[in-house]
Amino acid sequence: MTLFTIDNVRKTFTNGEVKEEILKGVNLTLKEGELTALVGASGSGKSTLLTIAAGLQSASDGKILFEGGNLTEMNGDQVRKIRASKFGFVFQFAHLVPFLTVEEQLLLMLDVSESKINKTEQKRGIDNILTLVGMDHRKHAYPSTLSGGEKQRVAIARAIIHKPKVLFADEPTASLDSTKSRDVMTLLRDLTKSLNLTTLMVTHDEEILSNADRIIKMSDGLVLGR
Amino acid sequence: MNMAWKEMKKNKMRFMILGSIVFLVSLLTFIISGLANGLSQDNAALIKDLPDGQFYMSTEAEQTINLSKIDTDVQGKLLNKHKEAVAFSIQMGFLNDEDEKQQSVAFVTSTESQLFENVQKGEVVLDQSMQDKGIQVGDSLTSNQYSGKFIVKGFSDQKKFSHAPVAFINTEDYREMYRATEMQLIFVPGKDSPDAAKELEVFTKKEFLNTISSYKAEQTSLNMIVWFLVVISGMLFGIFFYLMNVQKMGLYGILKAIGVKTRTLFKMMWTQMIFITGMALMISITLSQVLNMLAPKDMPFHLTLETTRQLSIVFFMIGFIGSTISGIQIKKVEPLHAIQRGEV
Ligand SMILES: Nc1ncnc2c1ncn2[C@@H]1O[C@H](COP(=O)(O)OP(=O)(O)OP(=O)(O)O)[C@@H](O)[C@H]1O
Ligand SMILES: [Mg+2]
């Protein structure tokens, strides 16, 4: 089932006098329970497309359709609400909050998403997710004491603790060595299936592509398909 | 979740440094304003402790108390009109105690009034501080300008003028000493509008205090120090939170990306500001009040709880302004900020 539609999205950056069109009318649909990989040369506009789809920056033109609404027509706070409750994010770096423990990172996300579940259910949910990503034994650790791979797994846990519909990942394995990146990849794929997520992931890693349901290639601001 | 608290717990050192600077600055502010108040009390308690009202001086005196001479007819009219009004004069001079030691005093005489000590010819009532110098009731004091002797009738609390203890004497004695037939000043208590009279100039209490030489100079410079300290503490807050915020730009970006409201981030900063200011003020208020109680008698230190309360409110306001101005960056930071710039 189609859950997310990117319809003729354009993005123009103005650097002083120079106008540059980075996205030249991108069309893309994402399906529930599918992991879509976005590949392409450096500078082809992958990150730009992902962040626009995720409501982290605005499009110059076009529509982002999700659950009957159009993100490009919403105001800042409406988009924020959707990001907080319906989207999850994983980036190249974990971007954890340095003064919160692993458990607190997830509690914060539950707070932000304004999930209505009570304290005991929150605790249970956190334990479940941490077991899922294999970090239950470091529940009370601060980020500074975790390895890169561990941090990334906590970041993934944070991205899914509030049961989002869509998971956006921009080169989530780029800062990891090959063993760890394979682990993280498998994890993302398994989570997509078990939680029925709609996942859009940018990656450079050819090896990873075997995990994807669909591979979309971008070139010079346009989707080529594959 | 209380992120403000969690952050302070994790970075105790950082926040304790800010707290101790705020503590030191606020303590210094309290002490200076205690001194300012103490000095003004020491300088002019005689006038300061009068109720609110109007002071009259002769216009020709051009705001110099010593040169003022109020015409007896004018005085009579004014005193007739206002039952509580009082005419009085002040002159600096010396009294010699029984050991022939010279004591500098301010001689004050007045018409009959509740507001001043009224004494008989040859008697004197002195400010309390003279008792600490070994003078007792019944002692007889002399003055180079006075033919007879002054018998000490008693002491009166907190009567100072121009940093000298006040000596209340009878009008007849005063006339003999200073060869003046007219009074210098008239005081009309109450908030009524002043009586317009060509030959008289009217002052509010505050204006009148400022005509006392040294009072204005002292208070202006001390108050300036107090306000400087207040402004400095505001800037401290601003700079501290600015530096912290600059370090945390990436964090703010990522928090915004996952959906944290900008308002929540501001609240976090305000909570920290209020907590630190509160703690620092609690300690400095306690210490300054202890100092207030323990200060030696001849140290002019007088810090009221009212002044402390007002200054504390000012500290909170200035902390709020300082941190909020530096927090404008929080509003500006984009969710993408961190993501495009690598690790937090
Ligand atoms: N804020 C911006 N202002 C101006 N130009 C930008 C901005 N963001 C991206 N660009 C430009 O848009 C183009 C595409 O950038 P984008 O980050 O989407 O590429 P990418 O496909 O993700 O590349 P990579 O694989 O290297 O991450 C680049 O040429 C980049 O310089
Ligand atoms: Mg990119």
> Which value does ipTM take for this structure?
0.90
CB-based burial of residue A106 (10 Å sphere; 0-12 exposed, 13-18 middle, 19+ buried)? Answer: buried
Residue A14: count other Cβ atoms within 10 Å of its Cβ.
Answer: 9
User: Which whole number is the average pLDDT over B289-302?
Assistant: 87
Dump pLDDT digits (tens) for A129-154.
999 889 999 999 999 999 999 999 99
Dump pLDDT digits (tens) for B152-205.
999 999 899 998 999 999 999 999 999 888 999 999 998 766 666 778 899 999
Q: Is residue A46 within 6 Å of ligand 1 at its C-beta?
A: yes
Rounded CA separation A103/A143 (Å): 11
Strands A198-202, B160-161: pairing is unpaired
How many whole angstroms from B340 Cα to the centroid of ligand 1?
Answer: 10
pTM for the model stands at: 0.81
Q: Do B254 and A95 touch (CB under 8 A)?
A: yes
pLDDT the model gives residue B235: 84
Q: How many CB pairs under 8 A join A and B?
A: 68
User: Which whole number is the average pLDDT over B203-212?
Assistant: 90
Q: Is residue A44 within 6 Å of ligand 1 at its C-beta?
A: yes
Give the nearest partner residue to B6 out of A100, A109, A170, using CB atoms. Answer: A100
Give the nearest partner residue to B1 out of A81, A84, A108, using CB atoms. Answer: A108
Q: Is residue A219 within 6 Å of ligand 1 at its C-beta?
A: no
Rounded CA separation A25/A8 (Å): 4
Q: Do B261 and A56 touch (CB under 8 A)?
A: no
Give A39 to chain B, closest Cα distance, Å: 18
Residues 6+ apart with CB under 8 A from A176: A148, A149, A152, A184
Is B7 touching A (CB cutoff 8 A)?
yes
Residues 6+ apart with CB under 8 A from B83: none
Cβ atoms of A217 and A40 within 8 Å: the answer is yes
How many whole angstroms from A89 Cα to the centroid of ligand 2?
Answer: 14
Q: Is residue A43 within 6 Å of ligand 1 at its C-beta?
A: yes
Q: Which residue has its alpha carbon closest to ligand 1 atom 24?
A: A42
CATH of A2-94+109-116+158-225 given 1.10.40.60, 3.40.50.300, 2.130.10.30, 3.30.450.40: 3.40.50.300
Rounded CA separation B297/B143 (Å): 27
CA angle B89, B93, B96 (to 5 degrees): 130
Going across the sheet that includes A87-90, the strands are A87-90, A166-170, A198-202, A35-40, A214-219, A222-223
